[in-house]
Structure 1
């Protein structure tokens, strides 16, 4: 198996870590730039987006030789169709990874939004102090994605004979438990300490969405990767919509009954994600018969 296949999850984590870094630095930088002109941060952000797009166009490697290889292996030269990717995603065992790949980020984001509204109501925190909880979660996620998981992956790869799929599955299972325990801590709304602890613990489990996506690529085959990521993006948008509407409605209900109600729903979703991820059987993790890409290498390890 190539080094690129073995480090796929690490590259995904670096991308998410870069997004988190921009979310931490962006507001502070915009607050400084807005002093000169209210439009200046907007133009800077648009310029950065344009520069990023140009860099992608210039440095994106040519994939045509890989497509020619696909034709020789019996795959479609222009990549698999969305229908083929859907069939691969909703087949066993890949379907067990879908909740983690699609719902984890929407649930975590909705929890963060809830905390901004919850802490001033429950503990009379000012809004700027509540925002520090979001920064704390982002920092913990950044450390997890860029330091803890890559270091653990390196050590496991060095000291064990696990394949990348086995390693990612083990880390995903552990991460879902941390995310579940952290979500349970957020339900304990009577003490500020438990809420802060829940934020940190759930952030330590923030790596499993990228791990699930890495395993989905491995189980469905690299020739499906483009369609798979497109389908997951649509699913994540639907997940954001469902979490925002569902948990938001429960927050309004909780104001007149029990304010921890929306966090209970988030914990139940976390439980579902955790159970589904643990149901993923490593021993049969392979794409559909006839697919010979990434998982062929996995079985040879």
Structure 2
């Protein structure tokens, strides 16, 4: 068959996490609950930071943007999944699939880039406290945020355009609850070498380098903290990094686990189940991690409710 005859497809089939009919109501309630908790928790973090002038610092500026990205990230996949369960329909149109890939990659990349930016913020705060407000001035913070969004837009646009060039056969079932780019590429009839090359390159640039930046920042932070003589000073310095380290471990640990399992097994179903961790659970837990271990956020939330 000529690949050119296969390009005019109109839809994909999302098989979801389970094809058993009796499981659908349970999945609907479970994912609706997690979506509402994620949306509400991250929105409260944003509103608390906007409301409380004491939280108008670089650290919380980046945190509010991380919460916004998390809301958008989960909103690209879960509403469509819930709609399909409610309508007892597994179809997603070709156009919707491409749009979903674009925004999923966009907000996922923003999360990925903001984490090393926040690590750098902690590095400056702990290692260069006297120059913190000079280095992390509003203009520089704005430029860091703008660069994060621009890089994410370019990466997600590149991936989406690479998928658009592919030709697809009659086998259009995706063993996932959203249009996961690796599985979509695997369905193509045409040559996917260039797509694979771009994905590996993007993973190296926007996956490995941010992680290296985080590890470098925290190596300097730990070295600086160990030089503090008082135990109280060490504890205070570590407490400012604890929440961020927890989020980093959750984000990279679950994301790496998904892609390692994808590479290790030809069966995509377990990968789809594991991917719930970084697509749903991680954005849901982030507000709890930052609010439960952060006195400033707790105070901001109290002011918001009062």
Q: Scaled by the length of structure 1, what TM-score is found?
A: 0.32
